[in-house]
C-alpha cells in the first residue's frame, strides 16, 4: 500500500524465454521505478504450451509520460508477445455498484471499509430489491435505487439494473448477498466485472440453502466463496475462499451467523484483489498476485 | 441459539463429589428442562483443591416459578457448595454501552450485528471522545454522547462517563477501539463488566503501537485479544484471541488493515461469550463454555 | 488428560427432563468423582423428539466397585432411559490395527505418537498390501502382515484381513491411506470401528484423485476428512476435517505434499476422539465431545 | 516443484531503477528460461534507501553454460548492483545434520519426509545428546552420533559437534527439539545455517517452559516459531510461525501434545523455505519468497 501514485500493469501471454526481460527492459528504458512485481508461469502438467502471468506496479512520476502514452508505447511489445493486458492508475478510483437484498452484514462491512478509505473506491449507488436500507445508504451520501424483482417484472428489473450500471459508469458490480440470479446475457456482458459471495465452500453445497445442506451432511467446517459471476450458477472462477470451524452443537441458525463473518471477510478480500488488479482469469481459474 | 426463553445458571465453587448431581437434581425436581449444560473442573497440576465451573440453560416455561423464586430456592444449595453464581433470563436484554474514538471498524461491526438482531442487546448509548460518528449512531436511533478527554479535564471526563453509564443502567462497557485509558478506580468498580479489544496477540506487544512492534520483530502472524479490563494495562483475563498471517511484503499500514478484521471478529466473539454468560473468571484466567 | 485411572461412560437416548440428574445422581450415590462431563441435546429443527448425548469421565478409585459391577448396576437406569451406552476403562489399552499401502506419512505419524505414548494404545499388527514398510514396522516391535490384494484374489485377501483382525482381537481398524476399498459386508460387520482418512474436504471431491479435481476447479483451500467407513464410499459419518490454503502457483504435486500434512493431523485428531469415546454417532452424523 | 533441473539465483541489494531489467536481461541474453521469479522492495517507512530482494529459478538446460561459468559472468553485474547473492543447483542435494534430544516428534516427521523424498536432501548424520534413537536412525541407514552434554564436558561436546558437522560437510543444522543451547561462537560461525524450532509464538514466552507460561497467562492460542539461531537466545530472524487453538480444559500436558503438531509442521515448512533458498535475511528479519 503506497500513498504515492502508481500504475498497475497486468496481463498474460503464451510463455516463452525473455518476457520479464523485455517488459522490465521497456519500463527501465523509460526510467520507470518498479515498486512491486509478480510473475507466474503455468505449465499445467506439461513443459510447453504454458501461459505467463504478470503484474507490476510502476511509480507514476518516475515515468516521463502519462497513461495514454504508456499504452501507445507498450502496445507493440504486447502485440509481439500476444499479451492480454491492461494498465490502471491508482489515482483513478474504481466505481463499484453494490447490490443488496435484506441482509445487512456485507453492506455494513463494505461501507465501513469505504468510510475508512480502506476501500478507496467510488460507490456511485447501491441497488436493492428491497427498500430496507435506503436511509442507511443515503446517510452515507450514496444514492439508493430500489428495483423490486417480481416474477412478472424480472426482465424489466434486470434491464433497469443494467441501465443504472451504465448510467453511473460503473466498473464493477458487487453482489453483497443480493439474493436474485442475474440473467445469462447480463453476466456475459460484464465478464470479470461481477463479483458474488456464495455462502458455502464451493464446490460443496452449490445452490440454495447451503447451510441446511452442510447441517445435513454433518461437516465440521463451513465456508464462503467469492467468485466472478458467469452464466453457470456458482461455477465462475473462484477468487477467494475461507472456512470456519463448527461443531455438533451448532444449529443451522448458528451456521448462518458464523457464516456471515466468513462471507464478509472473504468478499472484502476478494474485492480488494479485484480492485487492485491482482486477479488474472484464465480458463475458469484465477491467478491471484497477493 | 433458541427462539424460546430460557434461564442461564452459571457459577463456580470448590470441587467435590456430587456437584452435578445436586445442581441437576434441584432442577429436575422442579421439572426444569436443561437445554444445554457445560462443566469443567480445574485441578491445576494437583488432584485436590480444584475448582468446579458450570453453566446450564434451563427452559423457562418448564419451571413452575420465575427467576426471583429460583434465586430464593437455589440459594441454600449454592451456599452449601460455596458457589459464586448468577442466573439470567434470555428475555431480558443486556444494556451495552459502546465507547469509541475515531476508528469505525468495530463500531460498524457491532451496529450491523445489533441491527440484524444477531446481538440481541440494548445499546442505550454510544460514548466517544470525538464527535465523528454522531449522526451515524443517531441514524440508528441510539443516543450519542461526546465526552472529549483532554489532559486537564481527564478526571471530569471519566466522571462523566461513569455518570452516563449509571444513568442508562448499563450492564457492560465495550471499548470498541476507544483509545483512552480508564482510571484504576473506574476499572475496579466494574470488574468483569468492561471489555476491551487490544490490537495484538497478548502477551506480545503490550501497550502502544503494537503493529509497529510486530513489524520490527518480523513476526509472521499478527493478532488481537479481547479481554476484561483491570487496573493493569493489557493484563486482564483473556476472553478470546485470534491471528492472521502476514508476510514481508506487508507494511505497518497493511498490518493495521488486516488487524482491523481480526479485531472486530475477536471482539464480536468475546462480547457474545460475555453476554451469554459463557465466561467465568477465576484468578486472572477465563473458562469459556462455548 | 489424567495420569490417574478413570472410566468413561458415554451414550445417547431420547431427550426428556432429568436425564443428567438421574445419571449424575446414580454416580454421586456411589461416591463417583466426575472428572469431566459433556452433554448435548439435539432437537434438529423442532422442540420435541430430540436426542440426548452424554459423556462422563469418573475417577476409578472413587467408586466402590469395578467395571463389571458398574455395568450391572447402571443397566436398569439405562433401560429406563432407552439409552445406547458403553463404559470403558482408561487402563485397558485399545487394540488398533493399522492398514497401509505405500505412502509413509500417516504410518510414521501414528508410530511416532505411539512411541511417545501420546497415543496410548496397543498396535497388535500392521497390515499392508505392499511389503514396503515391513522392516520399519518390525523395528518398532510390531508384527507386519503383507496381504497383497489382486483382482483375482480380492475376496481371499479381505477374508485374510478379517481373520487377522479377529485373531489379534482388534478394536479398531485405521485405514492410514490404505488404497483399497473394503467390501460392504466387512464395513457392516464393524460399524463405528473402521476409520478412514480421505484426502479431500468432503463432500467435495469424492472418490479418486481429489487433488486433481481440486486443481481443475481452482479452489483456494484443500482439505482432508476423517470418517467412519460405511458401505457407501466416502459417505460415512464425518469425525474431523481441516483445510490448508493453496494458491495458483501450487501444482497437483504441491497439493499432494500439503495435503499429507493435513491428512496426518486430521487422522490423528479423529483417531484420538474415537479412542477416548468422544465420538457418538447418530443418523450418519457425529457428536464430538472434545 | 519441478522434476527438471534448475538453478536458483537469490540475493538482495540497494534498491534502484532497473534491477529486474538488468538481471532478467542478463538471463534472457543467455537464453535462460525463468521458471519462477519473485521480487520485493523494502522501503521501511521512507521512499529512499530501500533494499531490493529477488529470487529466480532458471531452467538449467536452457543456459549454454554451467554454474561455475554463470557465477563468473554474473559477478560483474552483481558488483555493479552491490548485490549479496548466491546461486544453487537443484540437482545438488543439501546436507542437513539433524540434532535431537529425547523427543521423537520432529525426528520422525523429518525422516518420514526424507523417506518420501518430499525433503530431497542428504542427512549425513543425526547428532543427539541421548542415545535413545540410535537404532531408529540407523534403521534408515543414517549414521548416529551420541554426544552427551554434561556441565563439565560442555565445551568438548560442542567442539565435537562442530568437528562432526565439518567432517560430514554439512550445509545446515536443524535443531529438532535439541534441548541444549549452542555456544555463541558456534552460532556466529554458521550464520543462517542453524535452524531451531521454538515451542512458543515468539516473542511471547521466550526461554524455558513456554507452555507453562502460556498456561499461567491463560492465552487462547499456542504456537511455535522456526528461526535462525543467533547468539541471542530465541531472538534470531523468524522464518515461520503458526498457532493452534486451546481452551480452558487443556492442561499443560495437553498443550505440549498439541504443540508438537505445530512444532513439526512449522519446522518442516521453515526448513523447506531455507533449503529452496526462499529465505533472505536482512536486519534480523526475513523475506520469504513462497
Predicted structure pTM score:
0.95
Catalytic-residue membership of D234 = yes
Residues of D within 8 A of C265 (CB-CB) are: 261, 265
Provide the residue count of chain D: 290
pLDDT digits (tens, 9 = 90+) for A127-152: 999 999 999 999 999 999 999 999 99
Of A21, A33, A36, nearest to D28 by CB-CB distance is A21
Q: How far is D270 from chain B (nearest CA, A)?
A: 11
Residue of A109, A171, A234, A277 marked active site = A234
Q: What Å distances lie between residue D161 and B207, B256, C133, D144, D182, CA to CA?
A: 42, 44, 32, 12, 10
> For residue C64, what is its C-alpha cell?
466402590
Of B112, B257, B260, nearest to A104 by CB-CB distance is B112
Residues of C within 8 A of A53 (CB-CB) are: 248
For range A44-63, the mean pLDDT? 85
For range B37-44, the mean pLDDT? 89
| pLDDT confidence of residue B1 | 44
pLDDT digits (tens, 9 = 90+) for C238-254: 999 999 999 999 999 99
- Cross-strand bridge partners of residue C174: C98, C195
| Cβ pair C36:B38 closer than 8 A | no
Q: Which is more confidently placed, B88 or C47?
A: B88
SS3 state of residue B112: helix
DSSP alpha helices (H): ranges in chain C?
A: 19-29, 67-80, 105-115, 134-139, 154-167, 184-189, 210-217, 252-275
Q: How far is B279 from chain C (nearest CA, A)?
A: 17
Top residue of B106, B215, B261 to mutate, by most chain A CBs within 10 Å, is B261
With a cut of 50, say whether residue C4 has pLDDT above it: yes
State the Cα–Cα distance between residues A129 and A153, nearest whole angstrom.
12
Q: In chain A, which residue's Cα lies nearest the Cα of B266?
A: A261
> For residue B121, what is its C-alpha cell?
442487546
DSSP alpha helices (H): ranges in chain A?
A: 19-29, 67-80, 105-115, 134-139, 154-167, 184-189, 210-217, 252-275
pLDDT band at A179 (very low <50, low <70, confident <90, very high): confident
What's the mean per-residue pLDDT of chain A?
A: 94
Q: What Å distances lie between residue B42 and A170, B98, C50, D49, D279, CA to CA?
A: 59, 33, 31, 55, 43
Residues of A within 8 A of B115 (CB-CB) are: 104, 108
Query: CATH for A6-89, among 3.50.50.60, 2.30.30.60, 3.30.70.260, 3.90.79.10?
Result: 3.30.70.260
| pLDDT confidence of residue D4 | 85
| Cβ pair C112:D118 closer than 8 A | no
| pLDDT confidence of residue A283 | 87
Q: Which residue has the cell 479481554?
A: B227
Of B1, B116, B265, nearest to A104 by CB-CB distance is B116
Neighbours of B134 (CB within 10 A): 15
With a cut of 80, say whether residue A267 has pLDDT above it: yes
Q: What is the CATH number of domain B96-288?
A: 3.40.50.170
| pLDDT confidence of residue A45 | 56
State the Cα–Cα distance between residues D260 and D252, nearest whole angstrom.
12
Is the bond preceding residue B203 a cis peptide, omega within 30 degrees?
yes
State the Cα–Cα distance between residues C266 and B130, nearest whole angstrom.
49
For range B102-125, the mean pLDDT? 95
| pLDDT confidence of residue D3 | 61
Neighbours of C117 (CB within 10 A): 8
Residue of C234, C242, C247, C277 marked active site = C234
State the Cα–Cα distance between residues B289 and B280, nearest whole angstrom.
8
| Cβ pair A248:C290 closer than 8 A | no
Residues of A within 8 A of B139 (CB-CB) are: 135-136, 139
For range B146-172, the mean pLDDT? 96
With a cut of 70, say whether residue C225 has pLDDT above it: yes
Residues of B designated as active site: 234
Among left, alpha and beta (phi > 0; psi -120 to 50; other), residue A129 is alpha
Residues of C within 8 A of D253 (CB-CB) are: 1
**Chain D residues with CB-CB distance to C under 8 A?**
1, 36, 103-105, 108-109, 111-113, 115-116, 118, 135-136, 139, 249, 251, 253-254, 257, 260-261, 265, 268
Q: How far is D99 from chain B (nearest CA, A)?
A: 25
| pLDDT confidence of residue B234 | 86
With a cut of 60, say whether residue B268 has pLDDT above it: yes
Among left, alpha and beta (phi > 0; psi -120 to 50; other), residue D117 is left
Q: Are D133 and D111 in contact (CB under 8 A)?
A: no
| pLDDT confidence of residue D19 | 96
Q: How far is D44 from chain C (nearest CA, A)?
A: 27
Please list the ranges in chain D whose pLDDT falls under 70: 1-3, 45-48
With a cut of 60, say whether residue A69 has pLDDT above it: yes
SS3 state of residue B214: helix
| Cβ pair A115:B103 closer than 8 A | no
State the Cα–Cα distance between residues A43 and A64, nearest whole angstrom.
36
What's the mean per-residue pLDDT of chain C?
A: 94
> Is residue A232 classed exposed, middle or buried when 0-12, 13-18 and 19+ CB atoms within 10 A define those classes?
exposed
Provide the residue count of chain A: 290
| pLDDT confidence of residue D234 | 87
| Cβ pair B25:C27 closer than 8 A | no
Top residue of D3, D6, D16, D18 to mutate, by most chain A CBs within 10 Å, is D18
| pLDDT confidence of residue D1 | 44
| pLDDT confidence of residue C234 | 87
| Cβ pair B28:C20 closer than 8 A | yes
| pLDDT confidence of residue C59 | 94
| Cβ pair B253:A1 closer than 8 A | yes
| pLDDT confidence of residue D242 | 96
Strands (E), D102-230: 126-128, 144-146, 172-175, 194-198, 221-228
pLDDT digits (tens, 9 = 90+) for C97-145: 999 999 999 999 999 999 999 999 999 999 999 999 999 999 999 999 9
> For residue B35, what is its C-alpha cell?
437445554
SS3 state of residue D162: helix
CATH 3.30.70.260 maps onto chain B at 6-89
Q: Please count the CA atoms within 13 angstroms of the CA of B212 that sit on its side-chain side.
A: 4
pLDDT digits (tens, 9 = 90+) for C205-217: 988 899 999 999 9
Q: In chain B, which residue's Cα lies nearest the Cα of D227?
A: B219
| pLDDT confidence of residue C1 | 44
**Residue C41 — φ and ψ, nearest 5°?**
-115, 125
CATH 3.40.50.170 maps onto chain B at 96-288
| Cβ pair C17:B40 closer than 8 A | no
Is the bond preceding residue C212 a cis peptide, omega within 30 degrees?
no
Amino acid at each position: 500500500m503506497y500513498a504515492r501514485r502508481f500504475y498497475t500493469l497486468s496481463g498474460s501471454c503464451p510463455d516463452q524465454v525473455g518476457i520479464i526481460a523485455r517488459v522490465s527492459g521497456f519500463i527501465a528504458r523509460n526510467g520507470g521505478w518498479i515498486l512491486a512485481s509478480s510473475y507466474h508461469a503455468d505449465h499445467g502438467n506439461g513443459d510447453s504450451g504454458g501461459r505467463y502471468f504478470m503484474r507490476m506496479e510502476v511509480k507514476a512520476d518516475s515515468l516521463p509520460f502519462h497513461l495514454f502514452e504508456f499504452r501507445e508505447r507498450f502496445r507493440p511489445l504486447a502485440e509481439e508477445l500476444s499479451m492480454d493486458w491492461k494498465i490502471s492508475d491508482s489515482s483513478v478510483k474504481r466505481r463499484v455498484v453494490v447490490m443488496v437484498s435484506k441482509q445487512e452484514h456485507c453492506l455494513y462491512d463494505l461501507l465501513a471499509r469505504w468510510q475508512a478509505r480502506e476501500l478507496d473506491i467510488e460507490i456511485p449507488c447501491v441497488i436493492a430489491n428491497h427498500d430496507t436500507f435506503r436511509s442507511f445508504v443515503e446517510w452515507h451520501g450514496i444514492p439508493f435505487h430500489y428495483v423490486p424483482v417480481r416474477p412478472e417484472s424480472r426482465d424489466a428489473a434486470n434491464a433497469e439494473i443494467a441501465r443504472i450500471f451504465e448510467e453511473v459508469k460503473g466498473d464493477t458490480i458487487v453482489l453483497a448477498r443480493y439474493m436474485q440470479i442475474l440473467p445469462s446475457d447480463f453476466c456475459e456482458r460484464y465478464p470479470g466485472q461481477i463479483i458474488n459471495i456464495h455462502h458455502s465452500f464451493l464446490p460443496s453445497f452449490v445452490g440454495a440453502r447451503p447451510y441446511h445442506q452442510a447441517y445435513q451432511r454433518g461437516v465440521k467446517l463451513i465456508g464462503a466463496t467469492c467468485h466472478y459471476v458467469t452464466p453457470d450458477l456458482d461455477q465462475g472462477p473462484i477468487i477467494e475462499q475461507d472456512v470456519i470451524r463448527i461443531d455438533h452443537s451448532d444449529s443451522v441458525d448458528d451456521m448462518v451467523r458464523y457464516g456471515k463473518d466468513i462471507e464478509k471477510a472473504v468478499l472484502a478480500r476478494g474485492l480488494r484483489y479485484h480492485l487492485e488488479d491482482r486477479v488474472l482469469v484464465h480458463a475458469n481459474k484465477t491467478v491471484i498476485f497477493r
